[in-house]
Chain A
Amino acid sequence: MSDITVKNIPHRRHRIHTSPVEKCFTCLIYGILGFLGIMCLIPFVHLIALSFSGSDPVKAGKVMLWPLEFNVDAYKYALDHPAFLRAFMISVVRVVVGTSIALFMLMVTAYPLSKPAEASPLNPLFKVLMIVAMLTGGGLIPMYIVMSWLHLTNTFWALVIPGSLSLWNTFMVMNFFRAIPAELEEAAVVDGATSTQILVRIYIPLSVPVIATMALFVGVGHWNDWFSGMLYMARTQDYPLQTYLRQVITTPDFSTLTVEEMQKYAQITSKNNQAAQILIATFPIMCVYPFLQRYFMTGLTLGSVKG
C-alpha cells in the first residue's frame, strides 16, 4: 500500500534522490564507513606484512602494508618452537573441553529452571542463589585460595572449571526455553518421553542458534583468556597460548636475565616472530568467525531486545 503511494509520485521521489546535498551526504557516509572498515583491517595487514618480511627492514621500521624481503622464517620459527606449539595445543584442548563442559552445565541448569516451580521444586532456591552470586564476588585472592584448597591450581582444570557455569547465559537460555511451545513437550510426554529425552530431542534441536552463539562466545572466551593461565599456573610450560604470548609481548625485567637468555629472548621477541605468533593465534578465530556470524546476530539480540 505504502509502495503504491510512493510510486504514485515518482516525480517527487526522483527529485529528492538527485539533490546534490543528499548525494554528498550519501558519499560521506559510504566514505566514513569504508574508512572505519579499513581501519579495522589495517593493523592485521601490517602484521601480516611484518611476519613475511626480512628482519632488517622490520628493524628499520620500513615495512608498512606489504612485505619487504619476503620470507617465511618467522612461521618456520614459530612452528619449530616447542614452547609455542605446546601453548597452542593447551589452548586447543582447553577450547574443546571447556566449551563442552560449559554447554553441558548450561543445558542441565537452564532446562529445569525454565520449568514452573511446581515441576522443579528447587528452582526458587537456585534462582535466589544465582542472583546473590551475580551480585557478590570473592575477588582475586579468595578465589585463588579456594582453587588451591581444591588442588586445582597448576592443573589443566583450573583453566576450564571456573566460569563453566555462566549465570548470565543461563538466564538467557532459560528465557529461550520458556518461549518454546508447551504443546511440543506435552506431545512428547504423551508418547512417554522422560525429561532428559525431552531436553535432548526437543529443546536442544530447537535452540541450535542460541546454543551455537553460546558455544561461540564460550569458545572464543577460552581461546582469548590469558588471566587464569597467569594466575593459576606457576610453570610457564602450563601456560595456554594467550598467557604465553603475553609473556613474549610484554617487556621483561632485563636485569634478571643472563646474556644467553637475553639473546634467546631477543630472537623470540623479534618483531617478525612476534607478528607471526600473533597471527597464528588469531587465525583459528578468523576461521570460525564467518560460519558463526549468522548465529550471533540472532543469539545476541535474543535476550536484550524485548518487545
Chain B
Amino acid sequence: MSAAVKVRKHKGRLKRDPLLCIMLIPGFIYLALFEFLPLFGLIIGFQDFKLSTGVFHSTWLGIDNFRYIFTMYPNFWRIVKNTVEIALLKLAFGFTAPILVALMLHEVKNTLYKRTIQTLVYVPHFVSWVILSGILRTILDPNNGMLNYIITSLGGEAVYFLGDNSTFRGVLVVSAIWKEMGWGTIIYMAALTGTDPALYEAAIIDGANRFQRAVHITLPAILPIIVLNLILSIPGILNAGFDQIFNLYNERVYKVADVLDTFIYRLGILDSQYGLSTAIGLVKSTIGSFLLVFSYWVANKTSGYRVF
C-alpha cells in the first residue's frame, strides 16, 4: 500500500519535470527540417521545376508529369519490370540462402569451427557496395580478372560478366547473396538458441536421424520467423538495391539492369528533369508506404508482430 503511494508521488514529480520535453526538442527540429520540409518539396513533382525559378515561381503542370511518365516516357514500364524482376530474383535466392546456412550452422557441434565460419560469413555485410564493386570489377575483368583467367585456362572463353545482358543479373543475385547470406543467419541463429534440447534427445531416442531432426525440429523452430521475415520483405519489392546496381551497371546493361531508383537518380541529377524525377519518386514512395502498412498489418495479424 505504502509502496504504491510512493510510486504515485514520484510519477507526480516526473510529471512536473520539464526536462523530458526539452530533451525532445532536437528530435522535433530534426523531424521538421529533414522529414517534413522535404515533403513540401514534393510539390515540384507537379511543376515544370527550374532551379532558376525555384519552388514558388515554377510553372504549375498539374498531373502532366505523371501522365507523361506513365503513357509516353520510353522504357518506363521496362524499368518497372526490371525493378520487380530483380527484387523478386534476389528475394527468391537471397531469402532462402540464410535459412539453409543457419540450418547447417546449427548442425555444427564443434564450437570453434562454428564461430570461425560465423565470423567469416558476417564480414561482407560490413563492406560497402563501392568497395564490393571494385572487388567484382577486378575479379570479373574480361581481360585479366581472376575468374576469367580460370575460365580461359580451363579452355573456356572469357566473359564480360558486367557488360553482358545475359550475365549481369546473375552477378547481381550472386553478389547480393554473398554479401548478406551470413548476416541474414543471425536472426535465425538467435531463434535456434532457444530450442529445447530435450526435443532433440527425444527424437534421438525415437530413432530420428540428423536430417530428420533438422527437418522436423530445427526448421519448425524457426518457421514463425521465416514467415515473419517473408511478410516484412513485401515492401522491398520496389527496391532492387540502388547501391549495388548503381555501382555496377553501365550503359551496355541498362536494358536488364536499369531500375526505378537508378532511373530517378539519372533523371533528376544528371538530366536535370527535377519535376519528372520527383513525380516518379512520389509514385514509388506512395506504393512503398502502402506495401509497408500492408505488410505490418499482415505481420501483426499472423505473428502478433509489433514495433511500437
Q: Evaluate contact between B33 and A150: CB separation under 8 angstroms.
A: yes
Q: Evaluate contact between A285 and B15: CB separation under 8 angstroms.
A: no
Cα-based distance from A47 to B77 in the complex (angstroms): 39
Stretch in B66-74, B83-91, B138-146 touching the partner: B138-146
B126-147 CB contact bits vs A (8 Å, 1 = yes)?
1110110111011101011110
Interface size on A, residues (CB 8 A): 116
Within 8 Å of chain B (Cβ to Cβ): is A118?
yes
Cα-based distance from A126 to B308 in the complex (angstroms): 12
Contact of B113 among A30, A64, A278 (CB under 8 A): A30
Q: Evaluate contact between B34 and A145: CB separation under 8 angstroms.
A: no
Cα-based distance from A304 to B299 in the complex (angstroms): 12
What total of A-B pairs shows CB separation below 8 Å? Answer: 294
Contact of B130 among A41, A43, A46, A245 (CB under 8 A): A245
Q: Evaluate contact between A195 and B19: CB separation under 8 angstroms.
A: yes
B22-66 CB contact bits vs A (8 Å, 1 = yes)?
011011101101111111111010000100000100000000000
Within 8 Å of chain A (Cβ to Cβ): is B111?
no
The binding surface of chain B is classed by DSSP as helix
Cα-based distance from A26 to B277 in the complex (angstroms): 53
Q: Evaluate contact between B149 and A61: CB separation under 8 angstroms.
A: yes
B177-194 CB contact bits vs A (8 Å, 1 = yes)?
010011000110011000
Cα-based distance from A268 to B182 in the complex (angstroms): 33
B104-133 CB contact bits vs A (8 Å, 1 = yes)?
110110000100110111111011101101
Within 8 Å of chain A (Cβ to Cβ): is B76?
no
Complex interface residues of chain A between 245 and 302 (CB less than 8 A to chain B):
245-246, 249-251, 271, 274-275, 278, 281-282, 285-286, 289-290, 293, 296-297, 300-301
Q: Evaluate contact between A194 and B108: CB separation under 8 angstroms.
A: no
Cα-based distance from A30 to B114 in the complex (angstroms): 9
Cα-based distance from A46 to B289 in the complex (angstroms): 42
Within 8 Å of chain B (Cβ to Cβ): is A146?
yes
Contact of A119 among B14, B120, B145, B202 (CB under 8 A): B14
Contact of B210 among A26, A32, A163 (CB under 8 A): A26
Chain A residues closer than 8 Å to B7, beta-carbon distance: 182, 186
Cα-based distance from A32 to B121 in the complex (angstroms): 12
Top 10 nearest A-B pairs by Cβ distance? A138-B38, A142-B41, A61-B144, A139-B281, A224-B128, A133-B35, A37-B120, A120-B20, A301-B190, A109-B27
Show 29 A/B contacts (Cβ-Cβ < 8 Å), sorted by A: A6-B205, A13-B204, A21-B209, A36-B120, A37-B117, A40-B120, A40-B178, A44-B123, A47-B138, A59-B144, A108-B23, A109-B27, A111-B20, A112-B20, A120-B20, A138-B39, A138-B42, A139-B41, A142-B40, A143-B34, A145-B38, A162-B34, A224-B130, A226-B130, A243-B130, A289-B126, A300-B187, A301-B186, A304-B190
